[in-house]
Amino acid sequence: MHINPQAKQHLINGIANEGYAILDDFLPQPIVHTLAVEAISLHTHGQTRRAATGKGGGEKPDNIRGDFIHWLDDVERSEIQQHYLECMEELRIELNRSLYLGLFDLEAHFAVYPPGAAYRRHLDQFNGDSKRQLSCVFYLNENWQCEQGGQLRLYLDETEAPHFVDIQPQGGRLVVFLSGRFWHEVLPATRERVSLTGWFRTR
């Protein structure tokens, strides 16, 4: 299965013009459902770990973020995980062709937020390390309702009263944004919130 050409162009235009893009129905719902089941199963069976901040994932969890993560492993990828990564590889090639970003690879993990968990305002690039160029969040939450919270708050500027956009974590939605430009946070939700989060990197 290949990404719809119109979908790829929508993402490219958004990044080129605004620095970010939001695309619904990036992959079919059966794939979204299967990925969600895998993520929740990994978490239920103790195969996720409490996330930490800092380069390399940090050493200790802190109060900045409350999610649990499982990195997609080169050896133990499931068939559906491999399918997702192949679609992202197709997107990487098109982004490089159209925007000359020099993207080399993708690092990605499942992120599971228990009810009430959040991730305080942060930037995805580390100090002195700009390899992460494009952040990608693919949501796996089926039948998400606005009142359940859990939005991705993307800050559009750094003024005293900044403008921002709140993005609902609806299953099948892909959000991409320039990692070094946009501060963002994950707001708490009333139900478990699941995503595949990753970063296209340069060498």
pLDDT digits (tens, 9 = 90+) for 132-174: 999 999 999 999 999 999 999 999 988 888 899 999 999 999 9
| Residue 80 domain-assigned (yes or no) | yes
Asked if residues 171 and 137 have their Cβ atoms less than 8 Å apart, the reply is no
Work out how many domains the chain is built from and give that number: 1
**What does the alpha-carbon distance between residue 172 and residue 170 come to, in Å, rounded to a whole number?**
6
Asked if residue 121 belongs to a domain, the reply is yes
Q: Assign 192 to helix, strand or coil.
A: coil
Q: Is 147 in a helix, a strand, or coil?
A: helix
**Which structural domain, as residue segments, surrounds residue 180?**
5-198
Residue 203 domain flag: no
Residue 167 lies in a domain: yes
Residue carrying structure tokens 């939450």? 141
In a domain, 151, yes or no: yes
pLDDT tens digits for range 18-42: 999 999 999 999 999 999 999 999 9
pLDDT at 72 (0 to 100): 96
Distance CA 201, CA 181 (A): 15
Q: What pLDDT sits at residue 146?
A: 96
Percent of the chain with pLDDT over 90: 84
Please check whether residue 32 lies inside any domain of the structure.
yes
Is 68 a domain residue?
Answer: yes
CATH number of the domain where residue 150 is located: 2.60.120.620
> Would you say residue 57 has pLDDT above 60?
no
Tokens of 127: 């100090």
C-alpha dist (Å) from residue 155 to 22, 130, 132:
14, 19, 18
Q: Is the separation of the CB atoms in 132 and 203 below 8 Å?
A: no
